[in-house]
Amino acid sequence: TRMMARVLRSSLTKSQPVGLTGNSNCTSHENTKSQVQDISLCVGNTMLTPNKLSKHLQSSSYIAPAKKLARRCVQIKYEEEPKIDRLSSNQNGIHSDTHPQAINRNSNDEYNHCAGTKKLKMEDEEKALQSRWEPPHWQEVLKNIRQMRAARDAPVDSMGAQKCTDVDAQPEIYRFQVLVSLMLSSQTKDQVTHAAMAKLRAHGLTVDNILATDPDTLGQLIHPVGFWKKVVYIKKTCEILRKYYGGDIPPTLKDMCKLPGVGPKMAHLCMDIGWGKLTGIGVDTHVHRISNRLGWTGRDTKTPEETRIALESWMPEEIWSDTNLLMVGFGQQICLPVGPKCSQCLNATLCPFGINPLSKSPKINSPLKLPVTGKAC
């Protein structure tokens, strides 16, 4: 009612005052929406009923306001219709708000929408899986590497981290020895690491015993390793293990990476060997070098961590655990850092580096250059 009055007041001149009445009263502001049909209009001194108002406006210059009035009336009538239906339904004992057909229709619409969204999501995942990049002939290349490593006679096979521990020790002591051997193996040959671990085990390689050993003595025990920082890392690690883990190693990858001197490669290998949990591929310099030579990274990666992310993007998870030991031994015997024995390699015709050994990165038959994204542990 107020909207009708405002529309007409804005259109009519001051010489023709406008008022709205309902039945016999001319108090337009007190009328409710349900009384719209009974409202009359006062134009000047003349009171117009709805029928007379229509004829008056058709013969005057107020056609535009009349159209607005008609549209407003229809809108009000339309808004009031559901209330009337709802009232009559309630009188008959039927609640339209809880009508089962309406509920079922809305539920079905929502279900169909969710099902369609889920179907589209599954189709997108299937397309992404089908379009996932993987290096050409990688199954054949891996099969040849396994064949060349069948003897398992590389240094890592007999002196790697898994061979430097006391298998008869208590589980927490065994896991601690795995962690220490991996910390010592950084930038160190397996022969040197194995010799240092033998001295530590003879001295007593437990958390409490290492904490009771002075730094000078500990440095002499691991002297072949040649890195004094490792003494500091091992001592600080032992303090953390005793304070927060009861002398055991962290059970999660995230906490493992927080230990001093422990990087992603050590953490993934320690979780696999120590806890039997596969969290990722342990990538060292051998795996990093060979993967780039084979073109398995999709692009030239600069760090072992970039290589790990690239490999895990396409390599089946069931072969992650064996990848480090397999490729480290292959890098120690055939795919050497300097002077690789490409003439003895079964992948000489499949490896981009073997085809063009003078190039630092694969150029012939190399895969697409794909970006590598991801975060370290």
Catalytic residue positions, numbered: 265
**In this structure, what token pair is assigned to residue 94?**
């039927």
- Residue 19's DSSP bridge partners are 42
Contact 26, 42 (CB under 8 A): yes
Compute the distance between CA of residue 212 and CA of residue 235 in angstroms, rounded to an integer.
Answer: 10
The dihedrals phi and psi of 25, each to the nearest 5 degrees, come to -95, 145
Contact 281, 297 (CB under 8 A): no
Compute the distance between CA of residue 221 and CA of residue 204 in angstroms, rounded to an integer.
Answer: 11
In the sheet that holds 39-43, the strands lie side by side as 18-22, 39-43, 46-48
> Residue 184 to residues 102, 218, 332, 351: CA-CA distances in angstroms?
71, 12, 18, 32
Q: What end-to-end distance do the CA atoms of the chain give, in Å? A: 68
> Residue 238 to residues 176, 209, 231: CA-CA distances in angstroms?
9, 10, 11
Contact 145, 331 (CB under 8 A): no
What's the Rg (C-alpha) of the chain?
Answer: 41
